[in-house]
């Protein structure tokens, strides 16, 4: 049975999303989108509806258009269907063949990873889970993990986001957390792992862990130590990083990070799309910000840094130099 075509405004909103994520930041394109949103309330309504349905899944539609042009329309309808459960959505995508082969949707897009993960969190959501072995897993917002627990192993695969785990003792099956850069093996009880752009951050809160890169290089970290796992090296961090676990209590504690890093930590709690102009992304930030009140956090940043926050709708926020005309 054929599906109803998408209405023209929804098609336009999708096209804006694809163009916005197609390349490097383009102030002219951002301004054009802002003009389109402001020109007609129906435009903003179509954009908002799309955001509500897809959340952070901009890349999913772009990947569909590029990889499966003959089925992208069908997949768009499935993703935008207003009353589908997660199970129904997966069944529909499987029917289109999008979950077969290399399982590209789950493996290569953030939205697909969240859909297929064993445990995940959405925007603005934190979650605590007791695992089968009694370990306690906490996920920050917009995070996804897969679990491989059997008689031989205890493996947590961090697909994206950030986790903190309190490990239950089991000498026969050491618990491991795998990321894109390598793995962290628990030699003690409590540590934090964050999948960042191009690196994995590990912070040991209690006892110790063993880091291992895909290249085979290893290093042990003791309580209070932290490191970044890069593809070919392990970078020991000198500064005490234990404050990074404050997200458990709804706080973003920043000692000396760039504005881009701070916004990256706030994005999982913000509605819509937040972009930082490259000219201000390097600014250094210190302070404590409320994760559950991201608008308040953004306003505090605007008060202390030479930036301005332009909000074109609840779903589009641009951070620019204050003196920008």
SS3 141: coil
CATH topology of domain 250-321: Phage tail protein beta-alpha-beta fold (3.55.50)
What CA–CA distance (Å, rounded) separates 97 from 162? 30
Which of 9-13, 107-111, 283-287, 288-292 bottoms out in mean pLDDT, i.e. has the lowest? 107-111
pLDDT, tens only, 61-72: 444 444 444 444
Band (pLDDT 50/70/90 cuts) for residue 110 is: low
pLDDT value at residue 18? 63
Give the angle subtended at the CA of 325 by the CAs of 19 and 310, to the nearest 5°.
Answer: 55
Q: Considering the domain 123-242 in this protein, what is its CATH number?
A: 2.60.120.1440
Contact (CB, 8 A) for 291 and 140: no
Q: Taking the CB of residue 113, how many other CB atoms lie within 10 A of it?
A: 21
Question: Cα(137)–Cα(164) distance, rounded to whole angstroms?
Answer: 6
Structure tokens at 151: 């008689």
Of 11 and 299, more confident: 299
Predicted TM-score (pTM) of the model is: 0.70
As a whole number of angstroms, the distance between CA 241 and CA 264 comes to: 17
Listed in order, the ranges of the chain carrying CATH 3.55.50.30 are: 250-321
Average pLDDT over residues 23-43: 78
The chain-wide mean pLDDT, for the chain, equals: 81
Looking at residue 143, what is its pLDDT? 94
pLDDT reported for residue 2: 40
- Placement of tokens 């991201």 in the chain: 294
Cα first-last separation, the chain:
52
- For residues 103 and 230, give the distance between their C-alpha atoms in angstroms, rounded to a whole number: 26
């Amino acid at each position: 049975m054929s599906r109803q075509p998408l209405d023209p405004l929804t098609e336009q909103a999708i096209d804006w999303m694809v163009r916005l994520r197609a390349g490097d930041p383009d102030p002219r394109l951002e301004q054009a989108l802002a003009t389109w949103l402001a020109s007609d309330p129906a435009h903003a309504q179509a954009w908002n509806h799309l955001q509500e349905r897809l959340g952070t899944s901009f890349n999913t539609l772009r990947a569909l258009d590029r990889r499966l042009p003959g089925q992208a329309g069908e997949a768009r309808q499935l993703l935008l269907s207003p009353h589908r459960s997660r199970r129904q959505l997966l069944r529909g995508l499987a029917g289109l063949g999008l979950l077969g082969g290399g399982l590209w949707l789950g493996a290569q897009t953030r939205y697909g990873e969240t859909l297929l993960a064993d445990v995940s969190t959405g925007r603005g959501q934190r979650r605590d889970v007791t695992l089968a072995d009694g370990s306690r897993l906490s996920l920050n917002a917009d995070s996804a993990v897969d679990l491989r627990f059997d008689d031989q192993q205890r493996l947590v695969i961090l697909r994206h986001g950030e986790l903190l785990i309190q490990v239950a003792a089991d000498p026969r099956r050491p618990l491991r957390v795998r990321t894109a850069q390598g793995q962290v093996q628990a030699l003690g009880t409590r540590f934090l792992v964050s999948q960042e752009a191009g690196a994995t951050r590990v912070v040991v809160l209690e006892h110790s862990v063993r880091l291992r890169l895909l290249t085979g290089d290893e290093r042990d970290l003791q309580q209070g130590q932290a490191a970044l796992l890069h593809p070919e090296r392990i970078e020991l961090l000198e500064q005490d990083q234990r404050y990074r676990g404050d997200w458990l209590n709804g706080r973003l504690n920043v000692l000396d990070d760039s504005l881009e890093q701070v916004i990256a930590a706030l994005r999982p709690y913000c509605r819509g799309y937040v972009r930082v102009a490259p000219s201000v992304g390097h600014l250094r930030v210190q302070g404590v910000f409320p994760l559950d009140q991201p608008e308040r956090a953004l306003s505090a940043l605007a008060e202390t840094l030479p930036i301005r926050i332009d909000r074109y709708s609840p779903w589009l926020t641009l951070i620019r130099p204050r003196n920008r005309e």
